[in-house]
Chain A
Amino acid sequence: MTPKEPNPSPLAPDEVLDRFRREQRAAATTGSVAASTEPRGRLKIFFGMSPGVGKTYAMLAAAQRMAAQGVDVAAGVVETHGRAETEQMLLGLDIIPRATLEYSGTTLHEFDVDAAIRRRPDILLVDELAHSNTPGAPSGRAKRWQDVDACLAAGVNVYTTLNVQHLESLNDVVAQITGVRVSETVPDRVFDEADEIELVDLPPDALHERLRSGKVYLGENAMRAVDPSDGFFRKGNLTALRELALRRTAAWVDSELRRYKQDRGIRAVWPAGERIVVAVSPSPMSGKLVRAAKRMAAGLHADLIAMYVETPRTARLSVQDRERLEANLRLAESLGATTQTISGNNAASELLAFARSRNVGKIVVGKTSRPRWKEILFGSFIDNLIRDSGDIDIYVVRGDEVGAGSTRSIPGDAIREPTPNALGRIASELAASAAIVGTSALVALAFYRPPDLSEEALILLTGVVVSALWVGRLAAIGASILSVLAFNYFFTEPRFSLNINDSGYLITFAVMLAVGLSVGTLAARAREQRLRAWSRERSTAAQHALSRELAAASDIHAVAAIVARHTHDLLQSDAVVCVPAPSARAAPLRSRQLDVAAAAGSTGPDWYSGEGEDPARERGVAQWAFDHGSTAGRGTTTLPAARGRYLPLVSSRGRVGVLGVRPASESGLEALDAAQLATLESIGSQAASALERVTLAESEQAARIHAERERLRSALLSSVSHDLRTPLASITGAASTLQLAEAHSDPSNQDGVIDLPTRAALLRTIVDESARLNDTIANLVFATRLESGAVDLRREWSTLEEIVGAGLARHRETLALRPFEVHVPSNLPMLRVDNAMIPQVVHNLVENALRYTPADAALGIAAWTSETSVVVKVWDEGPGIADDESSKIFERFYRGRASRAAAPNHHATSSTGMGLGLTICEGIIRAHGGRIWAEPNAPRGVAFLFSLPVDSPQPTLPALECPLHECDPVMPPAMIHPVSNGSGEP
């Protein structure tokens, strides 16, 4: 038995996923391509409970220690607040000058991110992580933590400082404790992902001591700050803040430990990762709800999902509510939650269905403050939720009434504020219902047959149902009331008055009203559902159409055009799709310049790609979105002044482009509602995968071509080195033998002396092998030129006879030793060919025949003409080639099998050959529009044939002449000299 391997226990799937996400995020933030070469910088946070505990001092002290060890430390931003001790710590550190900018008439100095990244220190000091940049700061980012993120992404290590009150999830807790709400917050993600946290702790009494001695605030501020009874620095406050800071640090250490364990595959002791869903609404108190859920999630190491359920009632939110909802969802995102918007009829059941599908254990909702009668009438959302929750825990969190506006809300129950528009709609609905009721009353009058009034009542109720189905719920209610009134007025005694004789009619009225209301409501709901289903279907159909069109697109520009068009159609916005410029595709991800691939819109793409400042800004925002992989522009925290919103298209392999939309309406922070944003996201993800697909297809094609080229190149290299070295070896051998003989020409010593015939043979070898080497090199150069298309034909009229003669010239001596025949008729048409290249073809074919046939095998050249071409045949009576070889034989580097078999029969230089000669022939012939092929020769051997097209008309030829001394020298030209007839043949 082999000893058992200490298998690491498998990780829970959630942990694997978690780790994968973390690694992926790390790769994404550094730029996946650059990730391997330029690791993300490390972030160390000096974390404190309040101002004045000495964070900056601690940071500088650490920096000084590092500097003393020879580490390159540079200060990007250090806020000394005029504190002498701190200023002293800054001595000797390299300070990066701040960028100056004008803002509202004053000159401000802001952290110069680009300068810092260019400077590339080992450690960069950036004080006050929570700082908000002045609008128009050089970096274009709203917050300093974003600047720091950029530095980290560029591979620069950063030391920074942070107070507990600036952490997003603790923001309102701190506000409750201290009564001071800080507006500058840092997402918890930044803190959680820091590589090191150093808690700078100071007991409250010691802090008070420092405050009193003026070490924190100077002058008057100092006294005000230390006022023990009141203010931020109350001892109670400080104790609570200290606890918060300690606990948060502990939580960080805990998660760090967890991360450590996960990274090393240590089986976790805690259960699989939990998920918490928080139900978000447009209510202002949802913010608090989200923060509470975040704290819960952080404590449980759970993932947080923020959900908004859109129901028929909430489908039409007011503009303010829309904006608040967006803000709440964005807050959730900044707290590290994923957000989700779904639509359904019943908020509670949709929420639960989603929770079950995602294996969510806990749902956090806000406490409702609706009047009791409403709950009885319409049902309580929370009651429904709890009733159907099953094994899911429901947490109901107290709402914060601060600033609660007109709308109190829980998901699915927002009430619309009446707006002028809405009032108009109500009026028109009521008018419509009045018209319908009037019509039905007229119909009922036609059937008026007292005393039985049941038919009339039923006809009026039909009017109610029609109102509900055609117009809506409000019309149904109005129609119910109007029907009862009409019934009273027209049909009950006394008629044409609202008085009644019979009190029994009251019951009829009540029943009629109740039936009318319930039937009307039901019918109206059915109508709404139908409308919603229709709109959902339309949106689904649109998405389906998009994906179907995208599937058919085969290149980047087709994909971009489809995406732009659909975005324009679905969002009624100008749309633009940008992809990295082709020249920049190979560049590192960050430095890729974007190009407009397609645009769609009513006003043309000038708002984006035109001249001037505004389009330039839009392009800058798009580039930012691409570079950072996050949405930017209008309605986001990054560069919100832009007119368009830019969504990076991120596929599984990285960023592939940017989708920009410019909503038609110019006003309002948020011109796109949640549904539109969801549509945008969905288009974005489809576009990203389509772009990835076509890019992959293109790069796969390129890779295949590249691989093929590489294969050829390596084949060429090995072939070349062999075919060049062999003759070189012969030359070197022969030459060095001669050299040695020269050195030993001492007559007394006969060693190494070679006789004259040997000497002649050696010299002959040198000359022959040099010629062969030269041929090989010339072939190589020629093949390369042919391959690269660098050959241009210099066509001129030529005769085949002359071509053959030139092609044979260099073989003359070898051919003289063999049975060789040439049959080239002199009456062949002239050819317009390159007069230097075609002889090369003849030369190579003869060379080939000489090389691969025995020395006594006959060979020859024949030529004839067909109607449109001249065919030349170079044949031999050698061993021939197999059938399956004849197609391969023109491939580069192909050497026939015969080359091995026949080699020994031929002269010394025959044993090798790169097969380049035939490839060159093929290239030349093809360039001339001809054809080259091999076929068996009768009775044996092989024949290579090539055809060249005959140009017509043939050139003008000189006039016929008489031979000298035979006829009158001044005889005029009588006829055109025919090529076919050799004149004056003796």
Chain B
Amino acid sequence: MSESDAVPSRAQPIAAKQPAHMPLVLIIEDEDPIRRFLRATLEANHYRVKEAGSGREGTLLAVTAYPDVVLLDLGLPDGDGFSVTRSIRKESRVPIVILSARGQESDKVAALDAGADDYLTKPFGVGELLARLRVALRHAMRHGSRGTGGDDDRPRYERTLDGRTLSIDLSSRLVHVMDRSTGSGERREIRLTPMEFKLLAFLARHSGKVLTHQMILKEVWGPQHVTDVQYLRVYAGELRKKLEVDPAQPRFLITEPGVGYRLAELGPPTR
């Protein structure tokens, strides 16, 4: 539902225009009905699909079938998603999206820290699923074409949510917001501290993806601060004060309870 606003979409048009490059999704899930539903949904949305019913089979297919993205169920009968993620990561950098139930936060965090790219909480809507796949594919493509550096190192991002437009320019280190509701459409520059900017830049490069506390702390504050969650809380609060209309009901910087943070997916500037 959070993705219902207009998102500048990239993956879908590409897939639609170039059927030969229809991305291949590997579904690792032991429940037949869910596999059936995923296959139907994905094929209707121009994806190719391969299925695996167990972690062992899935791991094998993940390295042999060259999927573009993997959908991995956390509740597999033959092993936890964490170990499957790890064994796939040994061989391949294919993006992995975890499917899990509510209440498995620590499992999710473990899988994400082991190298999974994102997660979806069951039950999920199709819109949400497609958005996650899109984000995963986009990040993978960026990474695949450049090979090094950040996940996504475009210099400029923009997104409009609930009438507020957030623009970030990483190269000039400038952040602006513009409120449609205020009428004037005036662009205000947001003044950030170096750490705030560093945090926002990291989130922006991975926009749309969930990032665990540990990942963010390690990247932004350094490995010696991975347990200092309170740093992250304070800075997230400060960022929200500056970016959001109502910090208690954030639209851009979303908290994923028990897991981490997600910055709403940002697109290229529309202008």
Interface residues of A (CB under 8 A from B): 767, 770-771, 774, 778, 781-782, 785, 794, 796-799, 801-802, 804-806, 808-809, 812-813, 822, 824, 826, 830, 834-836, 839-840, 861, 955-958, 961-966, 969, 977, 979, 982-986
Indicate if the CB atoms of A836 and B249 lie closer than 8 Å: no
A826 touches B105 (CB 8 A): no
Q: Are B248 and A797 in contact (CB under 8 A)?
A: no
The stretch among B64-72, B92-100, B251-259 that forms the contact with chain A is B251-259
List the B residue with the shortest CB-CB distance to A957: B234
A961-B193, A964-B193 as given contacts; A778 in contact with B237, CB under 8 Å: no
* Count, chain B residues at interface, CB 8 A: 44
Out of A805, A834, A979, name the residue touching B249 (CB < 8 Å).
A805
B2, B195, B241, B258: the one within 8 Å of A958 (CB): B195
* Contacts known (A801-B247, A984-B238); A796 close to B103, Cβ less than 8 A: no
In the complex, the answer to whether A982 meets B233 with C-beta atoms within 8 Å is no
Contact B195 A801 (CB under 8 A): no
Q: Are A802 and B191 in contact (CB under 8 A)?
A: no
24 contacts across the A-B interface (CB closer than 8 A): A782-B103, A794-B105, A796-B213, A797-B229, A802-B237, A806-B256, A806-B257, A809-B254, A830-B230, A836-B257, A836-B259, A839-B255, A861-B248, A955-B228, A955-B230, A957-B230, A957-B234, A958-B195, A962-B193, A963-B192, A964-B191, A982-B238, A984-B191, A985-B241
Known: A771-B123, A839-B257, A965-B191. 9 other contacts (CB 8 A): A778-B102, A798-B229, A826-B241, A956-B228, A964-B173, A964-B193, A966-B191, A983-B238, A985-B241
Please state if B237 and A770 are interface contacts (CB–CB under 8 Å).
no
Are B237 and A801 in contact, with the CB atoms below 8 A? yes
- Verify if B246 is at the interface (C-beta below 8 Å from A): yes
In the complex, the chain B residue whose C-beta lies closest to that of A822 is: B248
Task: Chain A residues near B192: list those with CB within 8 A.
Answer: 963-964
Complex Cα distance, B246 from A703, in Å, reads 54
Q: Which residue of A lies closest to B191 (CB)?
A: A963
- The verdict on B231 contacting chain A, using a C-beta distance below 8 Å, is yes
Is B240's beta carbon under 8 Å from chain A? Answer: yes
Q: Mark B63-106, 1 if CB is under 8 A from A, else 0.
A: 00000000000000000000000000000000000000011011
Query: In the complex, A257 Cα to B250 Cα: how many Å?
Result: 92
Contact of A797 among B105, B230, B240, B258 (CB under 8 A): B230
- Does B242 interact with chain A (Cβ within 8 Å)? yes
Closest A residue to B125 by CB, please name it. Answer: A767
Question: Given the known A-B contacts A822-B248, A824-B248, A836-B105, are A805 and B191 also in contact in the complex, defined by CB atoms under 8 Å?
Answer: no
Interface residues of B in 214-268 (CB under 8 A from A): 221, 228-231, 233-238, 240-242, 246-250, 254-259
**Which residues of the partner chain B approach A808 to less than 8 Å between Cβ atoms?**
248-249
Residues of B within 8 A of A964 (CB): 173, 191-194, 197
Q: How far is the CA of A337 from the CA of B141 in the complex (A)?
A: 99
Please indicate the chain A residues that have their CB under 8 angstroms from the CB of B231 in the complex.
Answer: 957-958
Q: Which 10 A-B pairs have the closest CB atoms?
A: A836-B258, A961-B193, A963-B191, A797-B230, A955-B230, A806-B255, A822-B248, A836-B257, A806-B257, A839-B257
Shortest C-beta distance, B38 to chain A (Å), equals 16
Report yes or no: B258 in contact with A834, Cβ–Cβ below 8 A: yes
Cα of A809 to Cα of B246 in the assembled complex, Å:
12
> Within the complex, what minimum Cβ distance (angstroms) separates A407 from chain B?
84
Shortest C-beta distance, B171 to chain A (Å), equals 14
* Docked CA distance A822–B247 (Å): 10
Which single member of A799, A812, A824, A956 contacts B233 (CB below 8 Å)?
Answer: A799
The residues of B with any CB-CB pair to A shorter than 8 Å are: 1-2, 102-103, 105-106, 123, 125, 173, 188, 190-197, 213, 221, 228-231, 233-238, 240-242, 246-250, 254-259
In the complex, what distance in Å separates the CA atom of A864 from the CA atom of B191?
29
- CA A298 – CA B185 in complex, angstroms? 116
Q: Complex: how many Å from CA A969 to CA B173?
A: 14
What's the least CB distance linking B164 to chain A, in Å?
Answer: 14
- Minimum Cβ distance to chain A for residue B73 (Å): 17
Q: How far is the CB of A874 from chain B (nearest CB, A)?
A: 13
Bound complex: CA of A715 vs CA of B243, how far in Å? 48
- Point out the residues of chain B lying under 8 angstroms from A806, CB to CB: 255-257
Contacts of B257 in A (CB 8 A): 806, 835-836, 839-840
Of A796, A835, A839, A956, the most chain B CB neighbours within 10 A belong to A835
Residues in B with CB closer than 8 Å to A826 are 237, 241, 247
In the complex, residue of chain B having the shortest beta-carbon distance to the beta carbon of A961: B193
Task: Please state if B193 and A963 are interface contacts (CB–CB under 8 Å).
Answer: yes
Chain B residues touching A, majority SS = mixed
Residue in B190, B229, B246, B254 whose beta carbon sits within 8 Å of that of A796 in the complex = B229
Bound form: Cα–Cα A812–B237 in Å: 19
* Closest partner residue, chain B, to A804 (CB atom): B248
Residues of A within 8 A of B173 (CB): 964-965
A805 touches B255 (CB 8 A): yes
Q: Are A799 and B195 in contact (CB under 8 A)?
A: no
Which A residues touch B256, using CB under 8 A?
A: 806
- A812 B258 Cβ-Cβ under 8 A: no
Residues of A within 8 Å of B250, CB to CB, are 805
Q: Which residues of A contact B193 (CB under 8 A)?
A: 961-964, 983-984
Contact call A977/B234, Cβ cutoff below 8 A: yes
Query: How far apart sit A812 and B196, CA to CA, in the bound complex (Å)?
Result: 27
Cα of A385 to Cα of B228 in the assembled complex, Å:
99
Query: For the complex, what is the distance from the CA of A798 to the CA of B235, rounded to whole Å?
Result: 12
Task: Tell me the nearest residue of chain A to B234, going by C-beta.
Answer: A957
Q: Are A799 and B241 in contact, with the CB atoms below 8 A?
A: no
Are B255 and A813 in contact, with the CB atoms below 8 A? Answer: no
Contact B229 A799, beta carbon cutoff 8 Å: no
Q: Which residue of chain A has its CB nearest to the CB of B254?
A: A809
User: Does B1 lie within 8 Å of A822, measured CB to CB?
Assistant: no
Tell me, rounded to whole Å, the shortest Cβ–Cβ distance linking A338 to chain B: 66
The distance in angstroms between the C-alpha atoms of A822 and B242, with both chains bound, is 18
- The distance in angstroms between the C-alpha atoms of A839 and B105, with both chains bound, is 13
| Contact indicator B123/A969 (Cβ below 8 Å) | no
Central interface residue in B1, B2, B258, by most chain A CB within 10 Å: B258
Residue of A nearest to B237 (CB): A799
* CB contact between B247 and one of A805, A835, A957 (< 8 Å): that residue: A805
Task: State whether A986 touches B194 (Cβ < 8 A).
Answer: no
Identify B246's interface contact among A785, A822, A956, A985, CB under 8 A.
A822
A965 CA to B238 CA, complexed, in Å? 17
The CA of A958 and the CA of B125, in the complex, are separated in Å by 39
CB-CB under 8 A from B229, the residues of chain A are: 796-798
Interchain CA distance A802-B190 in the complex, whole Å: 21
| CB of B36, distance to nearest CB on chain A (Å) | 15
What are the residues of chain A within 8 A of B1 when measuring CB–CB?
813
A984: chain B residues within 8 A (beta carbon): 191, 193, 238, 242
Could you tell me the distance between the alpha carbons of A534 and B245 in the complex, rounded to whole angstroms? 95
Q: Which residues of B contact A813 (CB under 8 A)?
A: 1
Bound-state Cα–Cα, A767 to B234, Å: 36
In whole Å, how far is A240's beta carbon from the nearest beta carbon of chain B? Answer: 82
Please measure, in the bound complex, the distance between the C-alpha atom of A402 and the C-alpha atom of B230, giving whole angstroms.
102
- Chain B: CB-nearest residue to A767: B125
CB B27 to nearest CB in A, in angstroms, measures: 21
Separation of A16 and B221 alpha carbons in the complex (Å): 89
User: Once bound together, how far apart are the Cα atoms of A979 and B241, in whole Å?
Assistant: 13
- Give, as a whole number of angstroms, the nearest-CB distance from B78 to chain A: 23
CA–CA, A966 to B238, complex, Å? 17
With a 10 A CB-CB cut-off, give which of A802, A806, A957 has the most chain B CB atoms.
Answer: A802
Across the interface, do B238 and A802 meet the contact criterion of CB distance under 8 Å? no
B194: chain A residues at CB < 8 Å are 961, 964, 969
**Nearest chain B residue, comparing its CB with the CB of A811:** B249
Most chain A CB within a 10 A radius of its CB, from B173, B213, B235, B255: B255
Q: How far, in angstroms, from A798 to B234 measured CA to CA in the complex? A: 9
Find the residue from B106, B234, B256 having the highest chain A CB count within 10 A.
B234
Residues of A within 8 A of B213 (CB): 796
Q: Which A residues lie within 8 Å of B237 (CB)? A: 799, 801-802, 826
**Cα–Cα, bound, A957→B234 (Å):** 8
The winner among B2, B102, B106 for most chain A CB atoms within 10 A is B102
